[in-house]
């Protein structure tokens, strides 16, 4: 009897083990905060603001327990493609991309998603890619704010030159649309639209030097960002026109804020990159954990609707510099007014 009992117990144990072996493996769970790996791909760090975006994003993501790997392609589209492929192969949980060119990365977005990697199009839209999220400012509003600043200073019959970013940047078209539509009906004429390839600011200066006679005939210049404005003002200074032609731009770079209080630039559009980068970091962690973006807004990327977190820009002039830039801590008073105080 004892032998039979042992055989029965052994058989029961074997059947139990077999049943366990037939159970399906549990589904893979979303990444835990301490295991989240984020790849962040930038166009370049030559432009001042991208360094700030990087620092805020990384610090916020780290506070949330994520690990961030940052790379810059230095304006090289092929290099950015190679970097994105490497991060896909490395099995990142989320990729956050500032595209140099809005089109070439689209196939890589789909490749990343097929590998289970979420993709955030950061500040610039990846067209036809179907990213999981686009987070940026209202770029048409940026253009409108610049146009309103020009209209406030010019009269019907006056002329404005546009020194824009590259056509490969989707933001350029959005800003241009907002600017031109807001000037419509004012009687102000746009004399020319120049696009600085690769956002290379030296091209803006070169345009002014090569078209000095035409430039002398305009009353204002719209610059695609403050870095273009920096080089444009330097070229205008060579022609003894700095401070005589109204300049508007965007990004609230320190040099631009200094020029505004000094009188060689009229306005810049402040986009709180601190808020943008922090929100993007939180969204990246949420996506890695399977939580969809908290937004009801969408934007068409050419193939479909992409969830869109849209932030509002603010026009900054000498009149509200202290209230917007200094009060927010974006720049320090001693830095913005450095040249004025030193001159005094």
**Residues 188-245: pLDDT tens digits?**
999 999 999 999 999 999 999 999 999 999 999 999 999 999 999 999 999 999 999 9
Model confidence at 20: pLDDT above 50: no
Q: Is residue 16 very low, low, confident or very high in pLDDT (cuts 50, 70, 90)?
A: very low
Q: Between 8 and 114, whose confidence is greater?
A: 114
pLDDT at position 23: 37
* Residue 123 near residue 183, CB atoms below 8 Å: no
Higher pLDDT, 4 or 137: 137
Query: Taking residues 6-11, what's their average pLDDT?
Result: 42
What is the structure's pLDDT at 48? Answer: 78
Average pLDDT over residues 128-146: 96
Token pair of 71 as six digits = 């790379």
> CA–CA distance from 222 to each of 59, 150, 226, 316 (Å)?
34, 8, 10, 15
Per-residue pLDDT band for 14 (boundaries 50, 70, 90) equals very low
Flag whether pLDDT at 9 surpasses 70.
no
Tell me what pLDDT residue 30 has. Answer: 57
Domain 139-271+315-343: CATH architecture, name and number where available? 3-Layer(aba) Sandwich (3.40)
| Whether residue 22 has pLDDT greater than 70 | no
Report the run of H or E that residue 42 belongs to, with start and end: strand 37-42
Residue 103, classified by CB atoms within 10 Å of its CB into exposed (0-12), middle (13-18) or buried (19+), is middle
* 114 burial via Cβ count (<10 Å: 0-12, 13-18, 19+): exposed
Q: What percent of the chain has pLDDT over 90?
A: 83
Structure tokens, 84: 């994105």
Give the residue from 96, 87, 101 showing the smallest Cα distance to 132: 96
The mean pLDDT of 38-48, rounded to a whole number, is 90
Q: Which residues of the chain form CATH 3.40.50.2300?
A: 33-138+273-311, 139-271+315-343
Which residue has 């004892």 as its token pair? 2
The residue with greater pLDDT, 130 or 340, is: 130
Residue 118, strand partner residues: 94
With cut-offs at 50, 70 and 90, classify the pLDDT of residue 33.
low
What are the Cα distances from residue 200, in Å, to 57, 164, 180, 234, 255?
25, 11, 23, 15, 17
pLDDT for 181 beyond 50: yes
The yes-or-no verdict on residue 28 having pLDDT over 90 is no
How many H-runs (helices) and E-runs (strands) does the chain carry? 14, 13
Beta-strand relationship, 314-316 and 267-270: antiparallel
Residues 36 and 209: their CA atoms lie apart, in Å, by 50
pLDDT at 32: 61
pLDDT (0 to 100) of residue 31: 61
- What strands lie across the sheet with 298-300, from one edge to the other? 67-72, 37-42, 94-97, 118-122, 133-137, 305-311, 298-300
Residue 102 pLDDT: 82
Average pLDDT over residues 58-86: 96
* Interval 276-295: pLDDT, tens: 999 999 999 999 999 998 89
| Domain 33-138+273-311 is found in CATH 1.10.287.610 | no
- Rounded Cα distance, 200 and 164, in Å: 11
Comparing 34 with 238, the larger pLDDT belongs to 238
Distances (CA, A) of 182 to 142, 175, 311: 11, 11, 20
């Amino acid at each position: 009897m004892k032998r039979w009992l042992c055989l029965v117990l052994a058989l029961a144990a074997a059947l139990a083990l077999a049943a366990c072996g037939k159970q399906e493996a549990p589904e893979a769970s979303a990444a835990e905060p301490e295991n989240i790996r984020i790849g962040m791909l930038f166009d370049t760090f030559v432009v001042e603001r991208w360094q700030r975006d990087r620092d805020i994003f990384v610090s916020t993501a780290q506070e949330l327990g994520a690990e961030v790997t940052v790379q810059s392609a230095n304006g090289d589209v092929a290099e950015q493609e190679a970097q994105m492929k490497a991060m896909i192969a490395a099995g990142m949980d989320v990729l956050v991309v500032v595209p140099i060119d809005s089109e070439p990365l689209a196939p890589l977005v789909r490749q990343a998603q097929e590998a289970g990697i979420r993709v955030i199009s950061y500040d610039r839209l990846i067209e036809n890619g179907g990213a999981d999220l686009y987070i940026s400012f209202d770029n048409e509003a940026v253009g409108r704010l610049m146009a309103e600043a020009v209209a406030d200073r010019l009269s019907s019959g006056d002329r404005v030159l546009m020194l824009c970013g590259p056509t490969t940047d989707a933001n350029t078209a959005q800003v241009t649309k907002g600017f031109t539509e807001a000037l419509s009906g004012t009687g102000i004429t746009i004399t020319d639209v120049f696009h600085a390839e690769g956002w290379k600011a030296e091209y803006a200066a070169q345009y002014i030097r090569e078209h000095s006679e035409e430039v002398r005939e305009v009353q204002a210049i719209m610059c695609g960002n403050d870095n273009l404005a920096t080089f444009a003002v330097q070229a205008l200074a060579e022609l003894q026109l700095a401070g005589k032609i109204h300049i508007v731009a965007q990004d609230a770079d320190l040099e631009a804020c200094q020029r505004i209080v000094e009188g060689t630039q009229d306005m810049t559009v402040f986009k709180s990159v601190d808020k943008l980068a922090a929100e993007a970091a939180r969204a990246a962690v949420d996506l890695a954990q399977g939580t969809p973006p908290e937004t009801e807004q969408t934007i068409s990327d050419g193939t479909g609707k992409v969830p869109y977190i849209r932030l509002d820009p603010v026009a900054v002039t000498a009149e509200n510099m202290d209230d917007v830039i200094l009060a927010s801590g974006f720049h320090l008073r001693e830095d913005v007014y450095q040249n004025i105080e030193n001159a005094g």
